Amino acid sequence: MARPSTSVRSTSLRLLLGALLAHQLLVLVAADIKGGIISRKGTQFFDANGNPFLVHGCNFYWLMYQAADPSSRNLVDDVLEDAQRLGLNVGRTWAFADGGYRALQLSPGVYDETVFQALDYALVQARKHNMRLVLSLVNNYENYGGKPQYALWGRQRGHHVPNDDAFYTHPVLRTWYKNHVKRVLTRVNTISGIAYKDDPTIFAWELINEPRCETDPSGNTMAKWVKEMAAYVKSIDKKHMLEIGLEGFYGPKHGISRRWAYPFNTDNTGTDYIRLNKIANIDYATVHSYPDLWLTSWNNPAKLIFLRIWTNIHIRDANKVLKMPILFGEFGKSNRVSGYEPVQRQEFFWTVYNSVYSSIERGGGGVGSMLWQLLPKGMESWDDGFAVFASDPATSNVINSQTMRLATVSKALREARNASSSTSGSARARIRSKLESEPLSSSSSDTLPSTDFR
């Protein structure tokens, strides 16, 4: 999903950040996040104690950006407090800002330490709120630099860079990206003293937000790049999980049983949900879900039908083909579509949450979702139509309901594990009984088609 451009703020305030963060070093001690580093086994996530880990999360891509300004750093604290109150346990944010205003990477290999310390701050604050973060390493889009900025840097230095997709093929641009990966993964947090590659606050690394390579629809270019970069990330950090950042489009080689679920003709995106997630060193699959952006002429009931098919068919393939967990890494309902009513967002969220919950009940790979996007009070101007505010009871009630349901199933899974019978019929029956005792929303799957692709 393309992001809105950031607004320009006074740079004079940034000069205060170094001194303020130095003070934080003396007074702020990172809390111990529960469960250690999360890992993947089969189609499930587990914490360091062997307990199943379910993801109930959100996106707030702007943490580093706001933390870099002393006057707005409180927004980072506020949104993490909101997330914790809602019961969310994983967030997703950018570990990049390439060129432009308030850049992390000013030019290839040149970093603004003040902004890097802002990312340090975001990680420490997340840890204090017992929240893990997915850190994305570059953008497909021009927002916050991304792939286009790397291409521009190449041209400015006299390299032949015919288009932005040369990011995936040009040896210099690939080296610059690898250098950034190494710089982030090996950084030692100036507040906690913990190297990023050892920090349990980090849930996973993401290679790139919503990668596409339209100059090579075959997918070969993207597959080669993912293979190279995934191996490079794991050569530095074998502890943390790694995902690609895909939207979930299937490639042109797949049959009608999958491709009919496309929101539009995506044969030219150069990506493939199956092929790319099968590459070595990728730990779990991701899918993004934006019917309001993809299906602009469809009415809301039709979008809900599509959404359920979209979520379930990807869960099915995660289970049977990829044999790995799947996260719905971004999903949202816009309040700017014609005829919008708050109940439509409730129905949308329930559709995603019920698909995940049903997968968990069956022991499937659909083990989490992350809404787009959570904003705190004071960031109303950043609302792209999809923003969720904790103060909105209509949406918060749905989120809290999912929190309670996942808490119930997590407890059941832990009990089954402690009884050393998690795979037995009796344990599964106890889990199922607990799940079935949890009420579903009246606007949930009862109003949707019964087709089940799991």
Query: What single letter denotes the amino acid at residue 362?
Result: R
SS3 assignment, position 284: coil
The dihedrals phi and psi of 3, each to the nearest 5 degrees, come to -100, 150
Q: Residues 332, 373: contact at Cβ < 8 Å?
A: yes
Beta-bridged to residue 413, according to DSSP, are none
DSSP percent split of the chain into helix, strand, coil, nearest 5 = 45, 15, 40
Q: Residues 221, 212: contact at Cβ < 8 Å?
A: no
From the candidates 206, 243, 247, 330, give the one annotated as an active-site residue.
Answer: 330
SS3 assignment, position 200: coil
Q: Residues 361, 318: contact at Cβ < 8 Å?
A: no
Q: Residues 105, 73: contact at Cβ < 8 Å?
A: no
Q: What tokens appear for 83 in the block?
A: 């997330």
Distances (CA, A) of 344 to 1, 77, 132, 296: 20, 30, 29, 15
From the candidates 210, 243, 247, 347, give the one annotated as an active-site residue.
Answer: 210
Contacts by 254-257 with C-beta closer than 8 Å and gap 24+?
none
Q: Residues 348, 363: contact at Cβ < 8 Å?
A: no
Could you give the CA distance from residue 197 to residue 182 in angstroms, rounded to a whole number?
A: 10
Q: Residues 388, 38: contact at Cβ < 8 Å?
A: no
Could you give the CA distance from residue 80 to residue 112 in angstroms, rounded to a whole number?
A: 24
Could you give the CA distance from residue 326 to residue 317 in angstroms, rounded to a whole number?
A: 9
Could you give the CA distance from residue 168 to residue 184 in angstroms, rounded to a whole number?
A: 20
Could you give the CA distance from residue 265 to residue 372 in angstroms, rounded to a whole number?
A: 24
* CB atoms inside a 10 Å sphere around CB 5: 11
Residue 22's contacts (CB-CB under 8 Å, 6 or more residues apart) are none
Q: What tokens appear for 21 in the block?
A: 């963060």
Please indicate whether residue 347 is annotated as part of the active site: no
Count CA atoms closer than 13 A to 224's CA, side-chain side.
13
Active-site residue set: 210, 330
